[in-house]
Structure 1
Amino acid sequence: MKVLIVDDEILVRKGLSMGIDWDELGFDDVKEASNGVEALAYAMEHEPQLVITDIKMPKMDGLELIEKLKAHCPDTIVIVLSCINDTDYVRQAMKFGGAVDYIPKLSLSTEELAAIIKKSKKLIKFSEGALEDSLSKPKVYLTKSVEKAIMNGLVELNKEKIISSLEHLFDALEKDQVQIRNFMEWQELLAIFSSFAKKQGGNIQEITCDKKLPVTFLQDSRNIYHMRERWFIFLEAYWSYLKGVRVKQYGMEIEKTINYIHQHFNDTIKLGDVAEYVGINENYLCKLFKKETGSNFIDYINHLKINKAKQLLKEGKYPVYLIAEMVGYNSESYFSRIFKKVEGMSPKAYQRQNDR
């Protein structure tokens, strides 16, 4: 049987191709591809039984590859390689039946990788119709609503909201008697806290729980009940750390201003609206913002919007006019002017440069 490993990072590809005993798993032909275009060309000619693919890649990303594999190689089983910040993409890949499982890149042992591959291999013997009837996809516990509630709790500094969301999550896991080895979404959950800490000028790696980094502390959980307990220990440590970062970095007014800007980056942000939200005079807000952040109010907003736009441009999925709207600019030409001012090139030039 043939397996194809698709990832633009050579170390990831080699780690999978050389770190797994493929012969023992029944695969005698292991090939690699560095992007979706190469992978699709190989798959259409050789029809591998198993494809393991990353999501974010140049030329053709994993989602497009999965869609094309469904059309041209319907019997091929697909497993998604998941980075810690790929939650939405993984959910999309699995929601539409294109992928049967996912492999988190972070802290997964060779034994766990082999177990996922063995489970997926059992599906190869099914016909396409039988596969649709027989396939039991992993249930998603870290849902959009849970993610949103946690993010809102962080932005609002509402610890009770976060506790409630975590309680709801672990209640569902315990009710379904989920084995800890099957709950890899904890890594995606940790990414939410990590991302927010970075936005506040902190780093989750500076936090320790029982003298361990958070990822190690949580990974060492014996079962779901133990992990639940450890998540709340981590939350206490995280909350204390976050308070220290916030106090050290900004005062209350600018902290609220920055939170508002990040929440509404895809809208037209007006100084008057922000000043009213914060509860201070517009002129005073401008002076205070410059003093504490070192940046003008408008420059800060534009840099944030342009950074969001750059992420969308790299994906290569949307036209420039739509990206302008998505980051809160009503005019494509104005967006292009601001983009060029910040980046030194037009959005289209930036997109071409990153279309490797």
Structure 2
Amino acid sequence: MIKLVIADDEKLIREVLHQFIDWKELGINVVAVCRDGMETFQAIKEYKPDIVLTDIKMPQMSGLELAEFFAKREDYTIEFLFLTAYEEFDFALAAIENNVHHYLIKPLKEELLIKALTEATQAVQQRKMAKEMMFHTEVQKCSHSQCVQKVMDYVEQNYRDPELSLKQIADTMLFMNVDYLGRRFQEECGQRFNHYLTEQRMTKAKYLLRHTNDSVNEIAVKVGYGNNPKYFGITFRKATGRTPLNYRHEKRMS
């Protein structure tokens, strides 16, 4: 529900506004009724209202000063509605400069006040909706990056598994649509998952060829090619331009 603060130094006006407007029907909760500028200032700090319906001239701090102060604060986004007996141009101009959308002259007609409150409420709701959409967009971006990182971490831990696939990860670990996950992976990593997996396996194979005496068949098993050393050899040559044994020989001679 929209939160609203009423501020006026005239008791009768405060009471009329508070008691005779059907706030619930407007979707508004009146969180404070204030009699001067400083009291209003404290109420705004405490309740962080969405709308402030305030007299333009009050003791201690005017409505204009309140609007000017909170307009400069990024952690406050408030719709100010000025309710005043003053019709001078300077007041109206100052109201516009401080993002006050409604400048209402006393004595008020109820329909004009309701119209102003409705428009202010709509502005608040639109702003909140835009903020929520932005928040969800950021969360999705974060979540997508986390998902891709989880895929990469899973590959690092399970590249030895000949059955390893993006579908397996999507279905059993992330519970996501594999096509969607594949698109996200390619967008963030600049390559398809299968290409990435092959790169990781080839990197591991190169290390084993350089630093161990394992046979090509043993290395094929250790990097995820199971009992298919022939396919491992074809893949390795395609990636490096050399057979596994030639690669080992060249690196050990250099």
The bucket for the TM-score relative to the shorter chain is 0.3 to 0.5
Larger Rg: 2
